[in-house]
Each structure stands twice: as structure tokens, then as C-alpha cells.
């Protein structure tokens, strides 16, 4: 199955899919002739003063703390702890036995202090989906200022492995909210993760191209 990466769709949504199909605006695959750090230019976004970090379900406090540390270190964004929420039963699909990611993103967006306030990143311990893919690791909506990712498919018997994977995908989701699209550098946090192997291959850091796009040194 070929690997594809997507740019932002017209409504600002960017999902990390568990299939070769990648939303409404697919780009060339990672095997294309484009440079490895190719990143689509997106409209500049105002830099927020912080990001709100929300755990949904049984997400351990240490995971949230280490995710917050990664957001500060990589994106220079202080992380503010949001409310601890229950597993999002309102988004559960009985037929698929999964949780609808866009519904969770919509609910998280209501936690923003204002329409142009701090973005919200949610971490959930439930398997996520969108209708046109078997599963997603995460989903982000730049217009709504919210993103969510799941640690279900990032599971490991080693807690420190789970924490590192969560750091990687939190930076990825927050990066989308700051205006970054997927990156074709497999070492960059903005590279598309289809599974935990991809998360392990890349790190929580950004490639020089993505750092430059955010105005980071």
C-alpha cells in the first residue's frame, strides 16, 4: 500500500489516516521527486501565547506533563492544563466500535478562551476514525483551533515509549494548528504517522524547513 501525505484541505482540516487515502486534497506520495523537506506553504497564522492541553479518558498525568514539556521545548509554546474530560461517548460509533475524531475536535474547540485564543490539543485513549479511512492517529482543524490524537495505536508495554510517541504526535497536531502541513522528511514531527513505527522513526523535533516556517531558530 502506497504512503501518501496531504496538505491542508480547503476547510483547514488535516487528518493522519491509517490508509493510503488522505482526505480531500491528496498530494504526491513520499516517493515523489520533491525534496524530502517539501512543505506546502500555508497562510501565516498569529502565534498564540500558549496551548491548552486536555486529556480525555484514562490518560496518565505523566503523559500530559511530558507532552507539555515537548510543546514548550520544540514549539516554544507554554502548555496550560485544561479540564480532564471523560472518554467522549458522544463521538462513539457502535457499528465501527471507534470514536469520530471530528466530533471530538468540535467539542474541544469550545474550550478555547475566545475565537482567536489559545489552540487546544486533546489526547484520548480511544481509537479514532473519519468516514473515509479505517482509523486515524489524529485530526486537526486549523479554523476551529483544535486537534486530537489517540494513544490507542501508540500503545507499548514500555511507558516511556508511549510518552515519547505522545510527545511526537502532540507536536504534530499543534504544528498543524500553527499552520504547518505534512512534511516529507521522515525525521520531522510533521511527517505523516500511519502507525507507531512512524512515530518511533521521527522525533518530536521539527526539520529546519518547518522550524523556519514558524519563525523558530
Strand partners, 191: 183
**Environment class of 5 (CB within 10 Å of its CB; exposed 0-12, middle 13-18, buried 19+):** buried
* pLDDT tens by residue, the chain, 217 residues: 333 333 333 345 666 644 322 232 222 223 333 333 344 444 556 788 899 999 999 999 999 999 999 999 999 999 999 999 999 999 999 999 999 999 999 999 999 988 778 999 999 999 999 999 999 999 999 999 999 999 999 999 999 999 999 999 999 999 999 999 999 999 999 999 999 999 999 999 999 999 999 999 9
Exposed/middle/buried for 159, CB within 10 Å: 0-12, 13-18, 19+? exposed
Residues whose CB is less than 8 angstroms from the CB of residue 105 and which lie 6 or more positions away in sequence, other chains included: 122, 139, 140, 141, 144, 146, 147, 148
The reported pLDDT for the residue numbered 12 is: 54
Q: Radius of gyration over alpha carbons of the chain, in Å? A: 16
| Closest listed residue to residue 17, CA positions, set 109, 98, 119, 122 | 98
pLDDT at 15: 63
CA nearest to 8, candidates 167, 142, 174, 184: 142
Q: Which domains does the chain have, with CATH numbers?
A: 11-16+47-181 (3.40.390.10)
pTM: 0.82
Amino acid at each position: 500500500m502506497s504512503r501518501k501525505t496531504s496538505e491542508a484541505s480547503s476547510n483547514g482540516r488535516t487528518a493522519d489516516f491509517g490508509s493510503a487515502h488522505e482526505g480531500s486534497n491528496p498530494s504526491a506520495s513520499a516517493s515523489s521527486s520533491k525534496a524530502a523537506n517539501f512543505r506546502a506553504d500555508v497562510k501565516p497564522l498569529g502565534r498564540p501565547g500558549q496551548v491548552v492541553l486536555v486529556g480525555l479518558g484514562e490518560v496518565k498525568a505523566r503523559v500530559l506533563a511530558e507532552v507539555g514539556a515537548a510543546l514548550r521545548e520544540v514549539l516554544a509554546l507554554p502548555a496550560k492544563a485544561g479540564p480532564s474530560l471523560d472518554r467522549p461517548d458522544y463521538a462513539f460509533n457502535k457499528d465501527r466500535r471507534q470514536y469520530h475524531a471530528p466530533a471530538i475536535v468540535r467539542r474541544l474547540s469550545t474550550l478555547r478562551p475566545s475565537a482567536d485564543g489559545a489552540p487546544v490539543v486533546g489526547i484520548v485513549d480511544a481509537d479514532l476514525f473519519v468516514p473515509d479511512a479505517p482509523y486515524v492517529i489524529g485530526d486537526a482543524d486549523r479554523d476551529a483551533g483544535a486537534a486530537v490524537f489517540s494513544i490507542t495505536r501508540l500503545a507499548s508495554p514500555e511507558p516511556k515509549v508511549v510518552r515519547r510517541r505522545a510527545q511526537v504526535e502532540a507536536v504534530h497536531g499543534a504544528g498543524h494548528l500553527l499552520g504547518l502541513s505534512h512534511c516529507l522528511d521522515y525525521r520531522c514531527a510533521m511527517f505523516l504517522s500511519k502507525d507507531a513505527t512512524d512515530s518511533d522513526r521521527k522525533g518530536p523535533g521539527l526539520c529546519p524547513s518547518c522550524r523556519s516556517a514558524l519563525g523558530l531558530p
